Chain A
Amino acid sequence: MSAPLAPGAYRSHNPRLERALFVWAPLAFFLIFLVGPFYWMLITALKPDSELYDGSKSPLYVAAPTLDHFIYLFEKTDFVTWVANTMMVATLSTAIALIMGVPAGYALARLRFRGSEFVGTAIFVTYLVPTTLLFIPMVEVMASIGMDDTIWALVIVYPTFLVPFVTWLMSGYFRTIPSDLEDCARIDGLTRLGAMLRIALPLARPGILSAGIFSFTLSWNEFIYALTLVTASAERTIPVGVIVQLTRADFYFWGPLMAGALLGSVPVALVYSFFVDQYASGLTAGAVKG
């Protein structure tokens, strides 16, 4: 058994050690956890094939970096087209989702009508139905309205899961904004719509941005609908295009694949970085800030 500690031993502390243990160590852990995949993508994209398949070399660094895989991606595949397609689909479907979902969320949070709770729950449950169950009926629905095999089908279909998500998120957010603010505005002469547009929406901006960023990311990464609703190679999105043109049977072209995955994640990262402050406050702030 060890000797008892001297009186006051618990009080003496090393600020550097504490900082290292409670600040830098957790930070390093999360940094490795979050940045690790991107680092892996980057070094794989920069490695020549001879290094990629050399089992004697460390997988964690690049000895002779090359841009060959990036050049291959731009010259031998339709990557630029896929980026343009994905951007178009993600932007439009996010816009539709916000235009429909934000007022719906407001209505669920503020208006009292019979069955409002049930509608709120039903909307959320709709969001939970997996796309693997829905894709075949959805292809049939799109075909019946003449929208099979076109990228515009994605612009219509993505809001079917984005609108419930935005509605659910925004109804929760609107509930954190005291309704007294809108009541005051209505006493001062604003209509219900005016109170929503001039009081509630500006206060809910962080929440709207969070919902928009999530919706954009969900659309950007979606795979099943993009695979089944679109056949033409010129109309594919990044997740489908990359896997089709950069694999051949049981051979994966890891360099270009990782280059594509890395570049494909840049727009999403940019969206996050532009709105990070608003996004963070959207997750943490209430309606009335000092």
Chain B
Amino acid sequence: MTQDRSQAHVSRRKLLAGAAAAPALSLATPSIAQGTLKGTKLTILAGQWYVPQTNTLLDQLAADLARDSGMEIRVERFAGDELMTKTASVIGTGRGADLAVGVEFDTYVYAAKLNDVTDLADEVGKNYGGWMDAAKAASMVGGRWKSLPIGQAPAAWNWRTDMFRAAGVDKFPDTFAGLLDAAKKLHAKGTPIGMTLGHASGDGRSTNYPVLWAFGGKEFEADGRTVAINSPGTLAAVEWYKEIYQYFIPGTTAWLDPDNNQAFLASKVSATVNVNTIYLASRAAAATDAARKNIVDNMDHANWPSGPAGRFANYNINVWLPFASSPNKAGQREFLKAWYSRTFLPKWTKVGQSYFIPQLAGFDSEDVWPEDPKLKIFRDLNKINRLPGYGGPPTPVAAEAVNKYILVDMFAKACTGQLTPRDAVAWAEKEYQQIARRRSRT
């Protein structure tokens, strides 16, 4: 996408000036930016973040850096799943881009083809009160930072307070037994709940991993290699799922990422697990659309219920992937420094309305949180993310299992009666072992 210079608000000079006031910053050192990158090119692959202003700010940052450094910068956007294909193509061929927005798996799947950015990560961590555990898990491989975390999109229970009240449930359940009971009552009232059991790249994970963990199930032992899915905890999770599935809206096994949004916006479901995009979309349209205003007035967000093993969550994480094949390593670093500068990152986080939140501990006490009371909960949700593979470290095996939707299919096979809960767990175990065996050979 060609950058529109007339849109520029955050100039590189302003960035540098602001950064100079902040402590510690080679992030702000005007080392290369003053023209030595002239003639170089930087192609950045990005997605479409839900909040449009966050996309605009990225474009502005690129335009300002291009103007001040003399580097030619292109930001090219692709939709989520297509961005993953494009990234795979760049990794495979070494052509097409210098930097990309990736997901956390990309770091450990492609680690050998990414530049080491440990020094930058250390500086950013120092400036913002340290990285949270989920950030380290997402971006560190073998003790080195091979990507830089952008943020995570906390998924919460989106629920209709009016529908719950009408069914005799005054607050969102705090236990899985309570959630099952509420689902029964809501189903009887004709306002069922729905949890994504389809191959949705975002919601498929964020909806199903927390259930597994809450009942004490896990995919791997602490070594990250030994498959541990076949356990009483997993079986309990599957049995709970099979029971609550009877009270879902029909069709959840075919749900992709947009489907639960759509069902909630059409008031067909009373609760679902999603990031805050349902609320943000409703709020944006509320002034002109009475149905959306009704949703804004009558919905809220809630944390996961607590299970026998505790309360867990899983969110999508975005990271910057610095491709080792890039001929413009200096340009990559300049861009990343600008991104994490004090004049840019807090502003980007604030306009993002807690849709994507950087996993930086120091942000908890900074003015980066939305004022809207219905978005307050995301500040706390930001602290409890776990990555797939939890129990052990995140690994390419865990990543492949996510991409093959093994866990989602395990629940779905049991829910639809295709397999008994015990057989569904055994099926999943076989799938995990197959992936682990193959990966151990490569």
Q: Is the pair B89, A136 in contact by a Cβ cutoff of 8 Å?
A: yes
The interface residues of chain B lying within 8 Å CB-to-CB of A232 are: 74, 76
Residue-wise interface mask of B (326-366) relative to A, using a CB-CB cutoff of 8 A (1 in contact, 0 not): 00000000000000000000000000000100000000000
Q: Give A188-202 interface residues, CB cut-off 8 Å to B.
A: none
Q: Is the pair A250, B50 in contact by a Cβ cutoff of 8 Å?
A: yes
Q: Is the pair B291, A54 in contact by a Cβ cutoff of 8 Å?
A: yes
Closest to A242 in B: B79
Q: Is the pair B202, A250 in contact by a Cβ cutoff of 8 Å?
A: yes
- Residue A287 at the chain B interface, CB threshold 8 Å: no
The interface residues of chain B lying within 8 Å CB-to-CB of A247 are: 48, 79-80, 258
CA distance A171 to B79 in the complex (A): 41
Main SS class of interface, A: helix
The interface residues of chain A lying within 8 Å CB-to-CB of B289 are: 49-50
Q: Is the pair B43, A249 in contact by a Cβ cutoff of 8 Å?
A: no
Q: Is the pair B97, A231 in contact by a Cβ cutoff of 8 Å?
A: yes
Q: How far is the CB of A289 from chain B (nearest CB, A)?
A: 48
Residue-wise interface mask of B (47-60) relative to A, using a CB-CB cutoff of 8 A (1 in contact, 0 not): 11110100000000
Known: A55-B267, A148-B96, A227-B85. A250 touches B76 (CB 8 A): no
Residue-wise interface mask of A (49-89) relative to B, using a CB-CB cutoff of 8 A (1 in contact, 0 not): 11001110000000000000000000000000000000000
Q: Is the pair B49, A248 in contact by a Cβ cutoff of 8 Å?
A: yes
CA distance A240 to B285 in the complex (A): 28
Q: How far is the CB of A152 from chain B (nearest CB, A)?
A: 16
Closest to B49 in A: A249
- Residue B93 at the chain A interface, CB threshold 8 Å: yes
Q: Is the pair B274, A250 in contact by a Cβ cutoff of 8 Å?
A: yes
The interface residues of chain B lying within 8 Å CB-to-CB of A224 are: 85
Q: Is the pair B82, A251 in contact by a Cβ cutoff of 8 Å?
A: no
- Residue A32 at the chain B interface, CB threshold 8 Å: no
- Residue B275 at the chain A interface, CB threshold 8 Å: yes
Of B45, B79, B96, the most chain A CB neighbours within 10 A belong to: B79
Q: How far is the CB of A27 from chain B (nearest CB, A)?
A: 30
CA distance A234 to B49 in the complex (A): 20
The interface residues of chain A lying within 8 Å CB-to-CB of B78 are: 227, 244
Q: Is the pair A243, B82 in contact by a Cβ cutoff of 8 Å?
A: yes
- Residue B77 at the chain A interface, CB threshold 8 Å: yes
Closest to B91 in A: A136
- Residue A126 at the chain B interface, CB threshold 8 Å: no
Q: How far is the CB of A133 from chain B (nearest CB, A)?
A: 12
- Residue count of chain A within 8 Å CB distance of chain B: 29
Interface residue from A49, A136, A234 paired with B285 (Cβ < 8 Å): A49
Q: How far is the CB of B167 from chain A (nearest CB, A)?
A: 17
Q: Is the pair A135, B89 in contact by a Cβ cutoff of 8 Å?
A: yes
The interface residues of chain A lying within 8 Å CB-to-CB of B8 are: none
- Give the interface size class of chain B: 35 or more
- Residue B257 at the chain A interface, CB threshold 8 Å: yes
Q: Is the pair A55, B268 in contact by a Cβ cutoff of 8 Å?
A: yes
CA distance A228 to B92 in the complex (A): 11
Residue-wise interface mask of B (181-223) relative to A, using a CB-CB cutoff of 8 A (1 in contact, 0 not): 0000000000000000000001100000000000000000000
- Residue B262 at the chain A interface, CB threshold 8 Å: yes
Residue-wise interface mask of B (1-39) relative to A, using a CB-CB cutoff of 8 A (1 in contact, 0 not): 110000000000000000000000000000000000000
- Residue A116 at the chain B interface, CB threshold 8 Å: no
CA distance A39 to B31 in the complex (A): 59
The interface residues of chain B lying within 8 Å CB-to-CB of A251 are: 50, 258, 261, 277, 281
- Residue B166 at the chain A interface, CB threshold 8 Å: no
- Residue B265 at the chain A interface, CB threshold 8 Å: yes
- Residue B266 at the chain A interface, CB threshold 8 Å: yes
Q: Is the pair A249, B50 in contact by a Cβ cutoff of 8 Å?
A: yes
CA distance A247 to B257 in the complex (A): 11
- Residue A122 at the chain B interface, CB threshold 8 Å: no
Other A-B pairs, 6, CB within 8 Å; known A54-B266, A250-B202: A143-B95, A227-B78, A231-B86, A247-B80, A249-B202, A250-B257
Q: List chain B positions with a Cβ less than 8 A from chain A.
A: 1-2, 43, 45, 47-50, 52, 74, 76-80, 82, 85-86, 88-89, 92-93, 95-97, 153, 202-203, 257-258, 261-262, 265-268, 274-275, 277, 281, 285, 289, 291-292, 355
Q: List chain A positions with a Cβ less than 8 A from chain B.
A: 49-50, 53-55, 135-136, 139-140, 143, 148-149, 224, 227-228, 231-234, 240, 243-245, 247-252
Interchain Cβ contacts under 8 Å between A and B, 24 examples: A49-B289, A50-B291, A54-B266, A55-B266, A55-B267, A139-B89, A139-B96, A148-B93, A148-B95, A227-B82, A227-B85, A227-B86, A227-B89, A228-B86, A228-B89, A231-B45, A231-B96, A234-B2, A248-B50, A248-B52, A249-B48, A249-B50, A250-B202, A250-B277
